[in-house]
């Protein structure tokens, strides 16, 4: 569903956005067909085409060369890996609310690493989980200060979120954004998650409660207007209901460990 990004008509005075180059591979024959790879260069991220929320659907690999293709099982999506400073921006959308947080991601890949990988690939689950599970002692992360990473302009991210919301007709989703290290003002959307987890979004309890209460109120109001019954009693989510939940969520730069369904095509 990433093609929806290419259809957005959003202009910003100093920033641009798009998606990485990618292809869908349905069988082994196409996987090793060099012509099918035209325009796509190593390293690439290999993502399962399935999006059912299972552990298998989160299993990905960073492929450095053709030797790494032997361990891949189609159908998969191959997406060009773009160096992005080891930081990924996760954007949560809840109705009219848009929240952008930053997380640790895959480290940049040097030319030496592209050529010197013995196995040809490195497997992992979700991109923002890699450091937590497999790279905690990496010097790269010891040197990197997540707090020093500049956030994308909020108005820019909000415009993209609104465009996706209208195009997909969804009110609950999130998407992953990286900043292209080659161009400081170029952003790439690498995933859209249509059934995301919100446990790591700051203040998610209050936001989700307000969102669902507003939906109930709107439906009940529409029901009254359509029936024309003046005496119809509307049972709504009042302030007391909204106070039940707290708003103490704190992202704090932690890694993302929530379950998500990635839409990768």
Q: Is 185 annotated as a binding residue?
A: no
Q: Are 205 and 246 in contact (CB under 8 A)?
A: yes
Residue with tokens 């292809």: 23
3-state SS, residue 18:
strand
| Number of C-beta neighbours around residue 84 at 10 A | 21
| Number of C-beta neighbours around residue 126 at 10 A | 23
Q: Is 191 annotated as a binding residue?
A: yes
Helices (H), the chain: 3-6, 28-31, 55-58, 111-116, 130-133, 139-143, 154-168, 204-227, 239-243
How far CA 94 is from CA of 51, 73, 207, 228, in Å, comes to 21, 35, 7, 31
3-state SS, residue 176:
strand
Q: Are 177 and 82 in contact (CB under 8 A)?
A: no
Q: Is 33 annotated as a binding residue?
A: no
Whole-number Å distance between alpha carbons of 85 and 149: 9
The secondary structure of 41-74 as a DSSP string is -SSEEEEES--SSSHHHH-EEEE-SGGGGGG--S
How far CA 263 is from CA of 4, 125, 168, 251, in Å, comes to 11, 15, 12, 24
- Binding region for Mg(2+): 176, 191, 193
- Binding region: 176, 191, 193
């Amino acid at each position: 569903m990433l093609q929806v990004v290419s259809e957005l008509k959003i202009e910003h005075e100093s920033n641009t956005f798009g998606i990485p180059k990618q292809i869908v591979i349905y069988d082994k024959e196409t996987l090793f067909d060099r012509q099918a790879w035209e325009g796509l260069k190593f390293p690439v991220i290999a993502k399962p085409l399935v999006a059912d929320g299972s552990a298998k659907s989160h299993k990905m690999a960073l492929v450095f060369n053709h030797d790494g293709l032997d361990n891949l099982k189609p159908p998969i999506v191959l997406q060009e890996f773009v160096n992005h400073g080891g930081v990924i921006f996760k954007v949560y959308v809840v109705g009219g609310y848009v929240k952008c947080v930053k997380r640790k991601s895959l480290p940049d890949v040097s030319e030496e690493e592209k050529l010197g990988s013995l196995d040809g690939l490195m497997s992992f689950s979700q991109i923002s989980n890699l450091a937590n599970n497999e790279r905690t002692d990496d010097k790269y992360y010891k040197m990197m200060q997540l707090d020093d990473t500049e956030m994308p302009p909020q108005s820019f991210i909000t415009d993209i979120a609104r465009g996706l919301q209208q195009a997909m007709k969804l009110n609950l989703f999130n998407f992953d954004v990286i900043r292209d290290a080659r161009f400081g003002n170029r952003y790439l959307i690498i995933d859209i998650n249509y059934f995301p987890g919100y446990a790591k979004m700051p203040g998610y309890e209050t936001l989700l409660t307000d969102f669902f209460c507003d939906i109930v109120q709107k439906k009940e109001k529409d029901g009254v207007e359509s029936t024309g019954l003046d005496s119809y009693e509307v049972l709504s989510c009042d302030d007391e209901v909204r106070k039940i939940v707290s708003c103490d969520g704190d992202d704090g730069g932690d890694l993302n460990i929530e379950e998500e369904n990635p839409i990768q095509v």
